[in-house]
Structure 1
């Protein structure tokens, strides 16, 4: 009789080549985040029609625009601990169902008050989806490919937002603004059966939580990852041991993680503050500095477009370098580009180049923060750690709207605005560098996979 086979799932995933199941999960999580991006940006596409049809002012539309961002922050804070207790898959599925249903219901909103309520509730699902999708990807990908694959998946957000713009441009003239909300609600609901069937629970979570109880489920997942390597009698182990008496929130705030958690929050808060402020107010600032409306819109698009390339490049690069040092440099260079925008002349080409550079650094570094957080926290608190970073960071995106409005209403000069905006980038760079000096990742790849 042969000895019982034992598989350490952390070492197994880190040393095995990517399987078809893992690549399929990367694509499905990309799809989830693309749908998230579509629905998060959807109000911006239909806002002009709401103003015209409902005869409301731009100022009155402010609560509608910010409601989803508030919901996103709340949803991220709630969903993380739930995913660490109940599993990644049920929370992810519930989040997609929730924001799909509420976006669909928004198409039938009779007035602004109902639209605010429905967008706030939809934001709860939107805030829960992205952190859980990135957590599942982090727990099913080998350490040496994790950062690039997480950032590839997160690039789905800008892909979905951009796709929403094209869809809106086609559908609103033909079918009205309600049609965009119908599409934004139906697509997530249509994706649910595929997600339920194709996305397994996190293997790392199953084994780290209750390995004996979940042995058969773990064996089936390993069979899908590498057929013939295990059976239901295989013993599964993990590098991490669960702390059953500690909640996920207390874990990320415990002595070993407290300073790193605060520095992650500070970095991501400043990063989202800058990205959302520039995304919202850059067209107005550039236009007020003498350029046309179309050129201002194009420069802002280049800011977002640069972020797509930045996230992919930095995600690839931090897998091969010191991630904290790399992201610190990216934030500092982003701050320099933002400062230089304020000193630039009225030339379109220079503005476009600096905006693309700022987007490359700032959006790219923000996307990589998910990989940094996923590698920092242990399995039993990973979803909470990533989600709470998203939730606290989301407060930065909410604050950015008020800050931008204040700077414009106070009559700040163009140069003063961009000099001030370089400061949050400096703070983010220093904070992520300090995290690298004070903390270390929760786990590292190990050389052996199977024991008997």
Structure 2
């Protein structure tokens, strides 16, 4: 029995949940930083006298950094390892977040936001790749969606920091708190294993054997040590240089196109909506404190969205779950944009968060499944990078729409159209991967 088959036969155990928490905390810190900038923007706009267009550029600059980081980190993770790149990118965005608290003008903040985005964009696809490569096939979707659920916890932390810290200690302190995750790297280096598939791909069989043996022991599974365990026919040979054009070979072109459409649309809608949400609500007449309370409630609604998607993704499949959640997110966004009483805004805003973030969990499940080990992080990184360009456009476009005297109704109607288009693309062109091993899917 070869190493990969030994890994995949291990049932869900304490090891898998430990890895989920290790990668999930990194995800939580990412979301905390992304959320903090959304809550800081309305305060900063008042203090620095920023226009709507300038506010949009602050949001877009972070996304530009994420696009660059996703491509470079994805390639680096396939070359140097998932664990190493995860740690390095975590340090980069943590330190850069602290520097945002030292920003002395608009231009310096833009530069620091680019560095923050670079680290964030590099970490997310790498963490998802690592979790996918360790998860049992029958539970892989559930684990990746649960990993993504840490994003909601991070936004919740950002909302709490903004609610309690910014009014009392200023926006700078919120950024300084966002620098603390850098300390987490020391724990990651000790507790997180390298990807078995990566080690096999690089010819490091002894290291892979040692890790699999420890996981088997912790799960109470009898180790099967045979000569065949020293070779793995399911992983492609190491040493072949990864090139961009491989994503466009007949084997992967359709998958690449579909993933790029999904990523562009979901990132465009998410960052366009949630980067601007506190500011848009302030412009509708809500106070800053009341706005933070509303967004905090909407953020809490993300958690059941993730958990419901985690339940469905391994039962009805990736394709159906993703298409349904995107379509319902579109419907919720439309009615949220129509405004109304505080109760109506909270209802549709919460449903929008529920379905949009549930869809995100499925996207992070789906993406690494569609590429083989040798280019898994590379392909996932490129898909994420294309998405980040959607995120770059969205905050800026919303800024221009607001500057052009267009209101919430027009803004959210636009996002409704985008999400519906992506839902249709998933339904028409998506390939179901539920319950299949990574090697079966990528062959």
TM-score normalized with structure 1 length: 0.85
Q: Could you tell me which residue of structure 2 aligns to residue 203 of structure 1? A: 196
Equivalent residues in 2 for 1:4-403 (5 A)?
6-9=1-4, 11-47=5-41, 50=44, 55-59=48-52, 60=54, 62-172=56-166, 175-185=169-179, 187-207=180-200, 209-210=201-202, 213-227=203-217, 229=223, 234-237=229-232, 239-242=234-237, 244-245=239-240, 247=242, 249-282=244-277, 298-342=293-337, 346-403=340-397
Q: Could you tell me which residue of structure 1 aligns to residue 441 of structure 2? A: none
How many pairs were matched up? Answer: 432
Work out whether 1:435 is the aligned partner of 2:432: no
- Secondary structure of the equivalent of 2:178? helix
CA offset digits 1:12-57 (Å, max 9, x no partner): 333211233322111010111111112233333444665576x443
Q: Could you tell me which residue of structure 2 aligns to residue 444 of structure 1? A: 436
Answer whether contact 2:29 2:154 (CA < 8 A) is retained.
yes
Return closer, same or farther for 1:362/1:44 CA change in 2, 3 Å cut-off.
closer
Work out whether 1:422 is the aligned partner of 2:416: yes
**Could you tell me how far apart the structure 1 residues matched to 2:50 and 2:359 are?**
36
Return closer, same or farther for 1:218/1:331 CA change in 2, 3 Å cut-off.
same
**Could you tell me how far apart the structure 1 residues matched to 2:178 and 2:88 are?**
16
Answer whether contact 2:90 2:182 (CA < 8 A) is retained.
yes
Answer whether contact 1:267 1:427 (CA < 8 A) is retained.
no
- Secondary structure of the equivalent of 1:247? coil
Return closer, same or farther for 1:256/1:100 CA change in 2, 3 Å cut-off.
same
Q: Per-residue deviation at 1:109?
A: 3.5
TM-score normalized with structure 2 length: 0.87
Q: Per-residue deviation at 1:301?
A: 4.2
Unaligned runs of 5+ in 1: 1-5, 447-452
CA offset digits 1:170-209 (Å, max 9, x no partner): 4446655443333222x222111110011111002212x1
Q: Per-residue deviation at 1:240?
A: 3.5
272-281 or 258-267: which moved more? 272-281
Unaligned runs of 5+ in 2: 439-443
Q: Per-residue deviation at 1:381?
A: 1.3
Q: Per-residue deviation at 1:286?
A: 5.8
- Secondary structure of the equivalent of 1:164? helix
Answer whether contact 1:8 1:237 (CA < 8 A) is retained.
yes
Return closer, same or farther for 1:293/1:100 CA change in 2, 3 Å cut-off.
closer
Answer whether contact 1:35 1:188 (CA < 8 A) is retained.
yes
Answer whether contact 1:72 1:127 (CA < 8 A) is retained.
yes
CA offset digits 1:200-220 (Å, max 9, x no partner): 11002212x13xx31210111
Return closer, same or farther for 1:381/1:425 CA change in 2, 3 Å cut-off.
same
Return closer, same or farther for 1:241/1:264 CA change in 2, 3 Å cut-off.
same
Q: In terms of Rg, which structure is larger?
A: 1
RMSD (Å), alpha carbons: 3.0
CA offset digits 1:405-452 (Å, max 9, x no partner): 23333344654444333211111111111232xx46499249xxxxxx
**Could you tell me how far apart the structure 1 residues matched to 2:386 and 2:115 are?**
18
Q: Per-residue deviation at 1:319?
A: 0.7
Return closer, same or farther for 1:175/1:417 CA change in 2, 3 Å cut-off.
closer
